[in-house]
Amino acid sequence: MKKWLMAVLLGSVLVLGACGGGDDNANDDGAANNDAGGDTTASAGEDIYKANCAACHGQDLSGGAGPALDQAGSKFSADEIVDIIQNGVGSMQPQKQVSEDDAKTLADWLAEKK
């Protein structure tokens, strides 16, 4: 019985120790970590794209079920891209799961792709 209890306790300690709880990438001074000064808006736009658009338009914007977006900025303004996201175009349905703020962030990021 004691061996079993010790094994359970030791296993619990190992599991809890492996889970950690600390953020190894935390910044002690409270400043945002911008990946060596990178633009957080661009990163946010890319994150929104990967979560909502990449399944149809490709992870690298090269297209798939939907058209390629690697040169979206040469064809559409940021405002036009927001309109497409919110209202759809062609066979693309309106993307209701994308908030207005996220649509603007995403459109600004895509408009830079020329």
Question: Any idea where the domains of the chain sit in the sequence?
Answer: 39-114
Tokens of 2: 């004691």
Which amino acids are annotated as binding site, given as ranges? 53, 56-57, 92
Query: What is d(CA 53, CA 25) in angstroms, rounded to the nearest whole number?
Result: 28
- The Cα-based distances of 82 to 3, 98, 105, 107 in angstroms read 64, 10, 9, 6
pTM for the structure as a whole: 0.64
The partner residues of 92 in beta bridges, in order of sequence, read 89
pLDDT (0 to 100) of residue 111: 95
Which amino acids are annotated as binding site for heme c, given as ranges? 53, 56-57, 92
User: pLDDT digits over 29-71, tens only?
Assistant: 444 444 444 567 679 999 999 999 999 999 999 999 999 999 9
CATH architecture type of domain 39-114:
Orthogonal Bundle (1.10)
